Amino acid sequence: MSRVNRTKNGRPVHHWRRDLVELAALFTAVAVADGVANLIGHGPDGPLLLVVSAVALAATAGFHTWWSRRHVHAPPTEDTGARSPVDARRGTGRRQGGKQQHTAAEGTPAGQDRPEGGHPTTGDSGQDVPVASVLWRMRTTVRDEPGSLAALCVALAGRRVDILSLQTHPLGDGTVDEFLLRAPGTLTATELTREVAAAGGTSTWIERADAHDLVDAPTRVLGLAARTALDTAELPLALRQLLGRCTIRSLPAVPSGEQSVPVEGVLDDTVIRLRAPEGGVLTVERPYLPFTPTEFARARALVELDGRLGPRIPRGQDVLTLAGDDITVRRVDTGDLTAAREMHERCSKRTLGMRYHGPVDDADRYLKHLLSPRFGRTLAAGTASGRIVGLGHLLWDGDETEVALLIEDEWQQRGIGAELLTRLVGMAEEAGCESVYAVTRASNTGMVAAMRGLGLPLDYQIEEGTLVITARLDQARSAASRAPYEGDERRLGGAHRRD
C-alpha cells in the first residue's frame, strides 16, 4: 500500500519497517557497486573492458536515433491502425444537463473540430467533408418495454442523426416519443422513417423544423401562457402553436336541455372539445395525428387560464396624421359595441352592402361577433373626439385568416383603410399565418386597391359578383412590416406618434 493511500489526518503514515527495508537496499547496492569496481579495476583487462562497454553503449544510442528519424513520418498501415484509441472513440455525443455536446467525428485528425452546422462524411481520401444539416420534428410510437427507446436511439446514431430534444407521451399500450432531430442534409424523410420502422417505431410522423423548435417544451408553454394572459385573441394562436397544425373553431352554446361538453372536456382521438370561457364549445381538430393525453391536458390548462383572466386586450394606441387629420388607431372589443353601432348608422347602405354582401338592415347583429377577441382582432380608427370612423377585422376562420374593412363614407379615400389593412396583415404575419383573404364585391375598387398596395402576391377568384382576394404572406417581409403599437418612425401621409 502506497503512502498516498495510507494517510492519517491528511499526512502520510511512516513505519519503521519501511525505513529498515530501504536502508538494507541501499547497503546492498553499495556493496554490489564496490564489487564490480574492484573486479574491473584490479583485473588485467579492466581498462579495455570499460572502453568496449562505452563504445557499445554509444553505438546503441546512435542506431536508435537513426531508426527513429527514418520511421517517424511513415504513413500508418491498416494493420497498425490509422487512428489512435482516442480518435477511435470520437464521433459520439454525450448529454450533460439536457444539452448535446459533440466531440470530433470519427476519423477526424486530432485537434481538428467538426464544422459547425453540419455533419462530416468520409470521402475517398479519408478526410471529413462537411455536409449541411437539417432539423426534423418526428413523432413515433414504441413499445412500452425496456430497451425499445434505446434501440431507436442506436438506429438514429447509426445514420449520424443527433437527438436535440425528446418528449415522451405515455399511452395505455405504448409510448409516443416526440423528437427534435438534426440530421445530415443527404438523409431524406423516407430514409429516416424506414430506419425508425426497422428499430421498432410505428405510426411515424415527420416534418421539417426550424430554429423556433429549439426552444424546450416548458419554456414554449410558459411563453404561450404569457401571450394569452395579455390578449384574449391570442388563445387560438397559442393552441395552434402548442399542438401544431390544427383547425380551431368556436361553436355557440347549445340550447338548454341538450347535452354539452363536460367541464373536464373531451378527448376523441384527433378531436379535442373544451368549454369555451365565454360559453359554447371550443373544438381543436388535427386529422393527420391523434392527440395524446399530455397534449389534451396542456390545451385544457391554457383554456382554463384564459377563462380565469376574463376578456382583455392591449390598450395602447397610435396617433397618425392622414390627409391633414389626426387619426387614432387602437384595439377594440365588445366594450366598444355602442360606438361601432353608431358608425353603422352613419354609413350608407351602399357602404354596408360592400362590407357585408347582403341585407344591411340587420348588419348590427354581426358586430358582437366581429368585436369579440375570441374570433380575432379588431382595429378601430377614430377622430380626436373619440368617434370611430373605420373598423378593420382580422378573423380566425379555422386554419385560414380573413381580413375585412369598413370605413365611414365621408372618411373614405384618405388612407385609413390602407393603414388598417397594413397593420392587420402585420398581425397575421406575427401570428405565423401563411395567407390572408378578403371577400368583397368586384365593384369595390377601394378594397382591391388596398390589397394591391400591400405589395404581396395576390390570387383572385370571382364567382357571381363576389371577389375573393388572397394575399400570400412572405415571412421574409415580417421584419420590414410594421408591428402594431411598436412606435416606429414610418410615416404614411404625415406625422406619426404613439400615446
Q: Which amino acid is at 363?
A: A
Q: Which domain holds residue 272?
A: 217-309
Is 280 in the same domain as 358? no
**Among candidate residues 162, 192, 213, the one where a domain is terminated:** 213
> Position of cell 381538430?
285
- Give pLDDT, residue 476: 39
22, part of any domain:
no
CATH value at residue 152: 3.30.70.260
Cα separation values, 164 from 87, 216, 255, Å: 24, 10, 49
Phi-psi region at 90: left, alpha or beta (left = phi > 0; alpha = psi -120 to 50): beta
Whether residue 96 is contained in a domain is answered as no
State which amino acid sits at residue 477: R
Residue 10's CB: how many other CB atoms inside 10 A? 5
Indicate whether 121 belongs to any domain. no
In a domain, 158, yes or no: yes
Distances (CA, A) of 454 to 107, 399, 433, 436, 490: 53, 22, 15, 12, 15
Q: Check which CATH number belongs to the domain holding 409 and give it.
A: 3.40.630.30
**Crossing angle between the packed helical segments 148-158 and 189-198, to the nearest 10 degrees:** 140
In this structure, is residue 246 part of a structural domain?
yes
8 Å CB contact between 314 and 306: no
Residues 190 and 258 in one domain: no
Residue 58 lies in a domain: no
Measured between alpha carbons, how far is 307 from 297 in angstroms, rounded to an integer?
15
Cα 247 to Cα 307: distance, rounded to the nearest angstrom: 20
What b/e readout covers 269-280, taking b as 16+ CB neighbours within 10 angstroms? eebbbbbbbbeb
> 403 near 425, Cβ under 8 Å?
yes
- Distance from CA of residue 299 to its chain's centroid? 18
- Domain for residue 163, yes or no? yes
For residues 179 and 328, membership in a common domain is answered with no
The ranges of the chain with pLDDT < 70 are 1-15, 36-37, 39-47, 50, 67-131, 253-259, 358-363, 398-399, 474-499
Q: Where is the domain boundary, 213, 240, 256?
A: 213
Q: Are residues 292 and 422 in the same domain?
A: no
pLDDT of residue 397: 77
Q: What is the C-alpha to C-alpha distance for residues 429 and 414, in angstroms, rounded to an integer?
A: 25
Q: Which of 185, 227, 229, 188 is nearest to 206 (CA)?
A: 188
Same domain, residue pair 341 and 461: yes
Beta pairing partners, 329:
318, 381
| 264 and 321 both lie in a single domain | no
d(CA 312, CA 333): 9
Give the residue among 216, 273, 223 at the shortest CA–CA distance from 248.
Answer: 273
Q: Are residues 398 and 465 both part of a single domain?
A: yes
Check residue 496 and give its pLDDT: 43
Residue 54 lies in a domain: no
Residues 223 and 192 in one domain: no
DSSP-assigned letters across all residues of 418-434: HHHHHHHHHHHHHTT-S
Q: How far apart are CA 294 and CA 308, in angstroms?
A: 21
- 251/304 same-domain check: yes
Domain boundary residue, one of 309, 341, 372:
309
State the burial class of residue 416 (Cβ atoms within 10 Å of its Cβ: 0-12, 13-18, 19+).
buried
- In sequence order, what are the residues at sequence separation of 6 or more whose Cβ sits closer than 8 angstroms to the Cβ of residue 484? 379, 423, 426, 427
Over the stretch 207-220, which tens digit does the pLDDT of each residue have? 888 777 777 778 88
* Location of C-alpha cell 579495455: 48
Strand partners, 468: 439, 461
Q: What is the pLDDT of residue 174?
A: 81
| Count of domains for the chain | 3
Same domain, 248 and 321: no
d(CA 267, CA 169): 15
Closest CA to 183 of 114, 96, 118: 118
Which residues share a beta bridge with 285? 247, 271
SS3 percent helix, strand, coil of the chain, rounded to 5, is 35, 25, 35
- Predicted confidence (pLDDT) per residue in 292-339, tens digit: 888 898 899 999 998 888 888 887 888 888 877 888 999 998 889 999
Question: Quick one: 231 and 183 in the same domain?
Answer: no
Let me know whether 291 and 258 are in one domain. Answer: yes
